[in-house]
Amino acid sequence: PAGGVSLRLCSTRVALEGINKPVIDRIIRVDHAGEYGANRIYAGQMAVLGRSSVGPIIRQMWNQEKDHLKKFDELMVAYRVRPTVLLPFWNVAGFVLGAGSALLGKKGAMACTVAVEESISDHYNSQIRTLMEEDPEKYKELLQIIKQFRDDEREHHDIGLEHDAEAAPAYSVLKTAIQLGCKAAIFLSERI
């Protein structure tokens, strides 16, 4: 080794023996789709509100979502998981949801953030329970990632509340509609 430093080639793939491949495929596929969709939502919000007083807050949350997506891009390769075929749809739907909620103003954008991030953190909690029941030691790395991302989503949820999400026009109707959409997106992305 040059300079006394040991160089080791590192594979981007993980050992797939002994894992519950169908469960892991569903988890990684849907989480990748969710983080992709979240990126598109924040892109839509930034297109409308990027130069407003809330722009830097949206940018900060979006940057975390970009990191999440990058990690799930890596996990897709490592676990050899195919993405959902619905990514082109989530591309458009996410941007339209983000821009549409932002057209309601700062409060509308934050209401969207609260609704989405609450749905996603609940979904992550469900995945954590599934992996804990499977084998917490075997899925230790994946559990750490999901827990960290869940905590980030909770933080985004709280930021939305701190920035008057609940004062958005028809907040409860808007939140319910967005969360129903999230549930449908989760169901479809796990399977298709």
- Tell me the CATH number at 121: 1.20.910
- Cα separation, 81 vs 19, whole angstroms: 13
Q: Is the model's pLDDT at 4 over the cut of 90?
A: no
Q: What percent of the chain has pLDDT over 90?
A: 91
Chain mean pLDDT for the chain: 93
Cβ-contact 68, 121 below 8 angstroms: no
Tally of domains in the chain:
1
In a domain, 30, yes or no: yes
pTM here?
Answer: 0.90
Predicted confidence at residue 18, as pLDDT, reads 84
Tokens standing for 174? 């808007």
Predicted confidence at residue 77, as pLDDT, reads 97
Q: Is the model's pLDDT at 9 over the cut of 50?
A: no
In a domain, 59, yes or no: yes
- Which residues make Cβ contacts (< 8 Å) with residue 61, sequence separation at least 6? 42, 113, 156, 159
Q: Is the model's pLDDT at 189 over the cut of 50?
A: yes
> Which structural domain, as residue segments, surrounds residue 161?
20-190
Q: Is the model's pLDDT at 62 over the cut of 60?
A: yes
Over residues 144-162, the mean pLDDT reads 98
CB under 8 A, 24+ apart: contacts of 159-162: 159/57, 159/61, 159/110, 159/113, 160/110, 160/111, 160/112, 160/113, 160/114, 160/117, 161/110, 161/114
In a domain, 7, yes or no: no
In a domain, 98, yes or no: yes
In a domain, 2, yes or no: no
- Which residues make Cβ contacts (< 8 Å) with residue 19, sequence separation at least 6? 79, 138, 139
In a domain, 77, yes or no: yes
In a domain, 15, yes or no: no
In a domain, 12, yes or no: no
